[in-house]
Amino acid sequence: MYNSLTRIQNVFGFFTTVAFVVAALIAASDFAVPRTPSATIKTTNVQVVKGRPHYYSTKKEEYAIIKFSLDADLSSLFTWNTKQLFVYVTAEWPASAANQTNKAVIWDSIITSPSADHLSNLGPASLKKLRKSAAGKSIDPSRGKLSLKNQKPKYQITHPTGKIASTDDVKLHVNYNVQPWVGVLTWSQGFDLGLWKKFAGGVSKAFELPALKTKDGEKTKNPR
C-alpha cells in the first residue's frame, strides 16, 4: 500500500469480493419470498391447414393453428431481483415411443420488470407507455397478471414428419422462466420447494387436432 498503484489494486480487489458477496445475498434473498403462480388455459379454435415452411420450399406440411384463452396470475414471481419473466405456451402430446412427449411452443412473451424496461425490444413510443404504466414503482407485480382472450398463436406447429392432422390427447401447458438480475434461472416447477409452490393449474383439457378439410373447393392456405 506504499504507492497509489498498489492502493488502487488492493481497493479494487476487495471491491470485487464485496460485489460478489452482495450479489450472492441478493440471489439468496429470492428464496425467502413465496411464489404462488396460477393459471387457467383453454383452447378456443383449433385448425389444421396445409402449408409450406417458407415461400420457396417445395415441401408441403400440415400446420396446426391453436387459438387459446389464458388467465394467469404470475405476480408473485416479480421480486426486486426479477429482471424479466418469460412466459410460453406449449402444445404437448404423447409420442409413439414409450415415455416420450412431442412438445412445441405456440406462443411466448417477455414481461420485463420496470427495472429492466430500458432493455425491452420496443420503439420509443411504446417504451414511454410501458415506463408510465409502472408509475415510478421499482417492481410492478400487476404485469404478471395475464388475461388473453382468443389469442392468436405466434407459431404454427407441425411434426417432423410433416403430418399433424388427427392427433389426439393434445394438451396446452403454460410455462414460465424467471430471469433474475443476479442468481440462477428458474422454470415453472411441478413440485413445492420451500416457499415456492408448484404451478397451480396451467394445463388445458385434452383436445384433438382435427383432420384436414377435404378438397371440396377448399383452397389450401399458407399459414403466415
149 in helix, strand or coil?
Answer: strand
- Please work out the total of residues on this chain that contact other proteins, with binding judged by CB under 8 A: 24
Q: Kind and range of the H or E element at 66?
A: strand 61-73
Q: Which residue in the set 94, 146, 181, 213 belongs to the binding site for other proteins (CB under 8 A)?
A: 181
Binding piece for other proteins, criterion CB under 8 A, among 5-13, 101-109, 143-151, 206-214: 5-13
- One symbol per residue from 141 to 180: x for binding other proteins (CB under 8 A), - otherwise; what is it? ----------------------------------------
The vertex-23 CA angle with 22 and 29, nearest 5°, equals: 90
HEC profile of 81-147: CEEEEEEEEEEEEECCCCCCEEEEEEEEEEEECHHHHHHCCCCHHHHHHHHHHHCCCCCCHHHHEEE
Give the nearer residue to other proteins in terms of CB position, either 116 or 148: 116
Q: What are 187's three cell numbers? A: 422454470
Considering only residues 11 to 30 of the shown chain, the ones binding other proteins according to CB under 8 A are: 11, 14-15, 18-19, 21-22, 25-26, 29
Residues that bind other proteins (CB under 8 A): 1-4, 7-8, 10-11, 14-15, 18-19, 21-22, 25-26, 29, 79-81, 115, 138-139, 181
